[in-house]
Structures are given as C-alpha cells and as structure tokens.
Chains A and B, each alone.
Chain A
Amino acid sequence: MSDGENATDDGEPDDQPPMEAARYPDGTILYPPHPLGPDGAEPVGTVDLSEYHATVVTWTSSTATPPGVREPNHLGIVEFDVDGEAVRAIGQLTTDEVEIGDTVEPVYVPELRDPDAGIREAESHSWDGYRFRPVE
C-alpha cells in the first residue's frame, strides 16, 4: 500500500476493514466467523473486534521465520472481552515488550507478510490484518 490510500498521515487507516467476528444465538462469539456455531446454529450478527481491547493469553518471539515474514516475528494469542463474552484471536504483536495478562488493542496493517516471498500464492487471499499493540 504505497499510495497511502489505506492510511492517513498519522498512520491510522481511514478505510480499514473490520476485524470481523460472528455472533451466534446463544451469545457465543467466534473469530474467525464460522459458518455454524454451537449446536449448528447460524450466525445472527457480527462484531468488529478492532473496537475492543484484549488480554494476552500467550505469546512468543519467533527468530526462525520463513521467507516474507519479519524477523523476529512477535506473535500472540489474545482474548477479547466483548460485553462479558470471551473470544480469542492470534496475531502479530507490535513489540516484545509484553507479558501474559497485558492489555492490547488491534492496529490495522496493510500487509502482514510479503505475499511474493516463498511458496505463497499472492492472489490466493488478502494479506492485511491486525497487529496487537500494548495499551499504556
């Protein structure tokens, strides 16, 4: 994204896609959205997780990364609390200055890894997504 179309001057994207999770009839929220939720129920709505904070459940810093992936690659599984309903997501962390239990927020990134490197098929899907940044 070199044309700045997806990012404003302060680095905050102006048309970022939602970090979309699905809500099911029993209140369960799943990320990514699954076609069927608990008891085979279809989703009844969506939740944009980028509007919520999350807690770090586990994380690592990977130094042996494959082609096209930043090195080191800080990765975490985080748990969002959406009005009392827990839902987890995996994603890159903006820093390794983090501990289990810390609060983080999603920040949009237009390209999480280089789709032209290694064995990837660049046209197979999009490469943007969210990183998690500690909340001071």
Chain B
Amino acid sequence: MTSVRVAGVGLTPFGDHGDRAGRDLFAEAAAAAIDDAEIDRAAVDQLAYGNFMGALAEQQGHQAPLMAEAAGLDCPATRYEEACASAGVAVKAAVEAIRAGTADLVVAGGMERMNCLDTGEATEALAIAADELYEVRAGMTFPSAYALMAQAYFDRFGGGRADLAHIAVKNHANAVPNEYAQYQREITVDDALDAPPVAEPLHLYDACPITDGASAVVLASEEYVTANDLDAPVEITGVGQGGDRLALQDRDAIAETPAATEAAEVAYADSGITAADIDVAEVHDCFTIAEAMALESLGIADSGEGIVAARDGKTTPDGDCPVNLSGGLKAKGHPVGATGGSQIAELTRLLRGDHPNSEHVADATTGVAHNAGGTVASAVVHVLEVAE
C-alpha cells in the first residue's frame, strides 16, 4: 500500500465573503493548493469535495462537478456530506482512493457559505444535521445540544464556565497571527464570562462564528511525488472514522463522544502511533465544551481532564501538546463543509514549518486532526507525520 503525501494546501480567508459565490471561494482555495503543490491540473484524477448546507444557502445541489469546473479540473468529482465533518470524510475518501491504487493525485477539501443567511436561518440550516422529528421539533439547536452535553459533563466530571473560558481565550490568542482566521483578536477570561448567554452554560464566546470559506489539499501517492519531484514532506499515515446514533437522547454517553474515540483508535492503529506520540492537534471546537470532549476521545487528556487542559497550560502554545494553534473553529472560523480540509491544511503548515505558529511546534513530527459532525454522531480522525 502506497503512502499518501500532502503535496499542497490552500485556504481562503475565513469570514464574511458577502455575495461571493461558493464556486468562487472553492476555486480560490483549490488554486492556492495546486500552486502550493506545483502540479499540473490536468494530472488530477479525482475531486473529493465536502459541503453541508449548499442546497439551503445557495439552492445549489450537485456541487461537485461545478466545483471541479471552477477549480479548472477535468476529472470525476464527488460531494461528501457528513454535516460539519463533510470535508473530513472527503479527505478520508481521497486517502483511501490513493491507497487503493485507483488514483495517484486527488484534490480534497470543501466549501461553505453561511453569511448569506441571517443568524436565525443559519441556525436552522445547521439544525438539519440533527433529528428533525425528535430533536429539532422540540426546538433543539446546536448551541442547545452542546449545552446539554456541557451540563451533563459538569454534572459527571465537574468543571465550569471559567474552564470553558480558558479554551476560548487560548484559541483566540492562537488566531492572532493566522492570516486566514476570522477573528485575529485576543479576548480575556472576563470577556468570555461576561458575554451574553446562548444556551446555559454556553455564552457567546463559547460558540464558533458563522463563516464563509473554502479549503483544499492536494494529496498524492508517494510514487507520484517521487516521479514528479514534488516537495511533500508531510504524510497522512492514519485515517479513522467513527459513528454513533444521530440523536443525543438515543445514546448512553452524553458527556463523552464515543464516535471520536472510535475514530481515534482506528486512525492510531492505522498509523501505528499512540496518543503519547501526538505533538500537536487541530480539534473540532465548534463549542468550547467540544474541545474538552475531543481531547479525551483523542487520549490527549484523561477522562474528565479535558475541561482543565487549557486552563492548566497543557494545550496552550508552550504546553505539552498545543491544540488548535490555527485558532480552531472558535476563532479561525467554521465554514462547516470546509472545516475538515482546513484542519489538514493548517496541520500540514504547522508540521512543514510555514505556519505563523510553527515556532511553537518546531520539533513536532506527529499531528492529529479531529473533525466531527452534529453532536459527534460522525467523527473523522487523521494522523499526519513528517515523512522520514
């Protein structure tokens, strides 16, 4: 089985792109990734594209061939939809295609437009990732779903709003030098604590913003990299996906994310690493509590300890395992169908040494990306390593 290299990465700035069409955003990210990889567009075998709410935001279905066309690609294209993990599963599909020998060169990533909807509409559009008949009918939104998880977490393990605030403060600080981040500004613990409530115990700074943006990565087989003399020092050595019942009420675990634990176990076994090997991670902090639970699923923190990891300095830039040096979904932004691809792009930059925050992980060789859908009914974990 061939190894899979990240040959190039590209992002649009994350934020409010006004009336720019989705195809325009993806074209920008794909062009950047293709330029970064220094490949010939005509050689691309497939496009694996993630998008979640394009049918509601732009009334646009069948997006994959449209995005291929916008990116100047003439190849089969498939859209992957797994809510906020859409681009994560798209990247996974690309890795598997290269490993299977059905492709040598694949562009993967995703795009989301959200600001063309007002906040209420965007909240409703996101909520279609939950169970319409039993969760959404009761008025459940994702902020309230994660609030239910947070209350259950506090009840079981302890912790409180101040612990969540430290997660937000860390991720905002990390975003400051990141030119792609939506919020390149610091906040304080008091800012977070004093912000208006969204769904108790989650307040405004516990939630990621509404974001437009696109991500793309060029993945290539090791043979292709060698034959074409590409500079691709980062390898995707492990992929794993986990699943759970869609509705939160239908699970045994509300204060934990077993689908992410499963994804991590599969990805670590695939790559041959253990959690102790992880030098840096990008995790799906759609809400601050989600970062705490992600760390526990990934084995970066023990059960019940994820909530204090930021406060204790374990996951800060100078800690044992810096988490979300990009700013995370919280401050970099969360264009939902693009996020999984952006995590691979940011982790690649961090490991290559060309990310504004690479200085904090100068000796890092192993990184993990954790991308989740819904209340983690879907989860994808990728292991990235610096190739020897």
Chain A partners chain B: yes
Within 8 A of A (CB), among B108-152: 119-121, 123-125, 127, 132-135, 137-141, 143-144, 147-152
Closest-by-CB residue of B relative to A88 is: B249
A13 at the B interface (CB under 8 A): no
Is the Cβ of A125 less than 8 Å from the Cβ of B132?
yes
B200 at the A interface (CB under 8 A): yes
A59 to B124, CA, bound (A): 20
Instruction: Provide the residues of chain A in CB contact with B148, threshold 8 Å.
Output: 58-60, 75-77, 90
Is the Cβ of A60 less than 8 Å from the Cβ of B147?
yes
Interface centre among A30, A59, A65 (most CB of B within 10 A): A65
Given the interface pairs A67-B120, A100-B155, the reply to whether A61 lies near B200 with Cβ below 8 Å is yes
Is the Cβ of B151 less than 8 Å from the Cβ of A64?
no
B254 at the A interface (CB under 8 A): yes
Given the interface pairs A57-B254, A125-B132, the reply to whether A66 lies near B123 with Cβ below 8 Å is yes
A54 to B199, CA, bound (A): 23
A118 to B125, CA, bound (A): 10
Which of B120, B139, B141, B152 sits near A112, CB closer than 8 Å? B139
A63 at the B interface (CB under 8 A): yes
Instruction: Type the 1/0 row for B181-202, where 1 means its CB is closer than 8 Å to any CB of A.
Output: 0000000000000001111111
Which of B137, B151, B248, B249 sits near A59, CB closer than 8 Å? B151
Instruction: Provide the residues of chain B in CB contact with A64, threshold 8 Å.
Output: 119, 123, 141, 143, 198-199
Is the Cβ of A90 less than 8 Å from the Cβ of B123?
no
Instruction: Type the 1/0 row for B248-288, where 1 means its CB is closer than 8 Å to any CB of A.
Output: 11100010000000000000000000000000000000000
How many residues from B make CB contacts under 8 Å with A?
A: 38
A55 at the B interface (CB under 8 A): no
A31 to B247, CA, bound (A): 10
Instruction: Provide the residues of chain B in CB contact with A76, threshold 8 Å.
Output: 148
Closest-by-CB residue of A relative to B152 is: A58
Instruction: Provide the residues of chain B in CB contact with A89, threshold 8 Å.
Output: 134, 249
A32 at the B interface (CB under 8 A): yes
Is the Cβ of A92 less than 8 Å from the Cβ of B132?
no
Given the interface pairs A58-B151, A69-B139, A88-B249, the reply to whether A119 lies near B124 with Cβ below 8 Å is yes
Given the interface pairs A32-B133, A92-B138, the reply to whether A77 lies near B249 with Cβ below 8 Å is yes
A110 at the B interface (CB under 8 A): no
Which of A30, A57, A118, A127 sits near B152, CB closer than 8 Å? A57
Is the Cβ of A90 less than 8 Å from the Cβ of B139?
no
Closest-by-CB residue of A relative to B124 is: A66
Interface centre among B127, B140, B248 (most CB of A within 10 A): B140
B230 at the A interface (CB under 8 A): no
B56 at the A interface (CB under 8 A): yes
Is the Cβ of A67 less than 8 Å from the Cβ of B138?
no
A66 to B121, CA, bound (A): 7
Closest-by-CB residue of A relative to B204 is: A64
A57 to B120, CA, bound (A): 28
Given contacts A32-B134, A62-B139, A90-B135, 7 further A-B contacts (CB under 8 A): A31-B249, A58-B254, A60-B151, A63-B199, A73-B139, A75-B144, A113-B137
6 closest A-B pairs by CB: A60-B147, A69-B139, A58-B152, A62-B144, A90-B249, A62-B199
List 22 A-B residue pairs with CB atoms under 8 Å apart, sorted by A's residue number. Answer: A30-B250, A31-B249, A58-B152, A58-B155, A60-B144, A60-B150, A60-B201, A62-B139, A63-B196, A66-B124, A66-B139, A67-B120, A73-B144, A75-B140, A77-B248, A90-B148, A90-B249, A100-B151, A112-B138, A118-B121, A124-B132, A127-B137
Residues of A that sit less than 8 Å from B by CB:
30-32, 57-67, 69-70, 73, 75-77, 88-92, 100, 112-113, 118-120, 124-125, 127, 129
